Amino acid sequence: MGSNMAENHPVGFRWPMKAKERGATLIHVDPRFTRTSASADLYVPIRSGSDIAFLGGLINYVITHDKWFKEYVLAYTNASSIIAEGYVDAEDNGGIFSGYDPKEQKYDPATWAYAGPPQEANEDAVAHSGHGMEGTSPAKHRPYRDETLQHPRCVFQILKRHYARYTPELVERVCGTPRELFLQVADVLVSNSGRERTAAICYAVGWTQQSFGPQIIRAAGILQLLLGNMGRPGGGIMALRGHASIQGSTDVPTLFDLLPGYLPHPAAFKGDATLEQYMRESTVRGGYWSNLPKFMVSLLKAWYGKAATKENEYGYQWIPKLTGDHSHVTTTTEMADGKVKGLVIFGQNPANGSPHGRPKPRPSGTRPPKAGTLPRSRPRSFSCRRRRRRRRTALSRTPNACCNFTTRLWIRRATLGPTSGSFTTWAAASRSCTGDRRNPPTRDFSISPGTTCRSSPSRALGSGMSPRTTGC
C-alpha cells in the first residue's frame, strides 16, 4: 500500500518477486494499476486518501473474527495497560478525543496517560523522535495492567470499541473497494500471520506525503502488532526508502533532532542541561533502548577521544542544544515570516517535494530571475508552453504539417477483437486539413498485438496506453 515498488524501488522489488516464486502471495492496494499491480497476485483498487479506513477494516476483521495472536499481544504490546479514568474516546465524544481545546485548536494529552504510579515527567509523545523513544512508553512508567483484557479501560478494549465501526460495508462505501475483494485481502493476511507465518506491509511516500501520514502508519502498526508480525523474520512494516535526503538523512544523520545511532538530540527546552538529566528523560526501563546511556557515552568517546572524561560529562556540554522545532516545514514557515534570512539547499528539491509545494504563477510580464539570483518563488516553466503554442500555429498554417498530424490518435478504449486476437481501437480520432478540428471524424482502427506506440517509454497497445499517445 502507498507505493509502486516495481517502478520506484526496482532493486528492492526483486525480493518480493523471489518470495512470490517460493509461494508467497503478493497484494497491491493502490488507486492506480501500475507495474507493481501487474506483478501482484491480487490487485485491490482503493480511493486516494482512504487508506486509514481500509486498514481500520482489517483491524476490525482481525478482532471480531478472533484472529489476533493472543500470546504475542499480551507479551509484546500495551494491550493490557489500563488508561486513566479521564480519557474519553472519540467514539463517545462526538468524534473528538478528550482534552481538546477549541480555542487553541489543539489537544492536551494529560487525560491520555496510563493509570498507575506517578510518572517521572509529563507525557510527551514528541519529546524525542528516536526509534522507540516516545514518552508514553509503558516500559518507562509501569502502568496498571489487566492480562485478561476485560477491563473496560484497558488498551485492547478501547481499541476494540474504536474500530468497531470499520465494517466491510463501511470500507466499501469509503474506499470504493468491493466488499468481496476486501474480505479476500483480510483472509489472505490473517492466514499468513500467526505463530508459524508472518506477513509484511510495504509503504512509501504514498503514505508519508499525506497530511495524516503518521496516522496511516500507526494504523498499519496496530494491525501488524495484533497479528504478531512485528519484530519477526518476514514481518514488519517496511518503509521503502532510499532517496538521497530520506534514508541518508536519518542514518548519517543530518536531521536536526537526531544524533548518530538514532539518539535523540539534547534540547534546552526539554531540560537536557546535563548528561544526567538527558539520560533520565531519554532512557526507558525495558527493552533494547534501556542501553541508551551506554550508547550516548560511547558516542561521546568516539567524538572526543581522550578529552571525554567522566569529570567533564564526556564532553556532553560541547554538544549544541536545540532551542525549538527546526524541522523542514517549520523552517520554511519561518522563512515566510522573515525569521530565516537565507537557506542553502542541496540534495533535495523542496519546491517539488514539500507539502503544498506547488509554485505560485509569476505575474504576467515578468521574467524569470537570472542565474545566481535568489527568486522569491520557483517560477513556472512557461517557455515550453510558448514553444507548443508556436508549434500549433505553424501546424495550422502549413498544410503538409497538418496532414502529417493525421497519424495522431486519441485512444478512448482498447478491447480484444472478436477474431485472431487483434485489438480494436474505438474512437480513434484523426485530424485532417479540411475537417473540423474540434469534432474530428471517428473510425475503427485495428492494430496487431505486437505493434508498439511512439510514447515515452514505448509500450505495447493494450498494456496501459494513455490518451497522450502520439502515434502508432
Convert the pLDDT of each residue in 393-442 to its tens digit: 444 443 333 333 333 333 333 333 333 333 333 333 333 333 444 444 44
Q: Is the pLDDT of residue 375 over 80?
A: no
Q: Pairing relation of β-strands 263-264 and 413-416?
A: unpaired
Q: CA 465 → CA 2, 3, 6, 412, 424, distances in Å?
A: 23, 21, 18, 10, 13
Q: How many residues does the structure list for the chain?
A: 472
pLDDT (0 to 100) of residue 171: 96
Burial 106-142 (b: 16+ CB within 10 A, else e): eeebebbbbbeeeeeeebeeebbbbeebbbbbbebbe
pLDDT tens-digit map of 44-95: 999 999 999 999 999 999 999 999 999 999 999 999 999 989 899 988 888 8
Q: What is the mean pLDDT of residues 241-254?
A: 66
pLDDT tens-digit map of 11-23: 889 999 999 999 9
Which residues belong to CATH 3.40.228.10 in the chain? 5-82+145-239
Class of domain 5-82+145-239: alpha beta
Only one residue has cell 490473517, namely 190
pLDDT (0 to 100) of residue 275: 93
Sign of the dihedral defined by the CA atoms of residues 338, 340, 346, 352, in that order = negative
Only one residue has cell 557515552, namely 297
In degrees rounded to 5, what are phi and psi of residue 289? -75, 0
Residue 216 grid coordinates: 496511516
Residue 34 grid coordinates: 501500475
pLDDT (0 to 100) of residue 131: 46
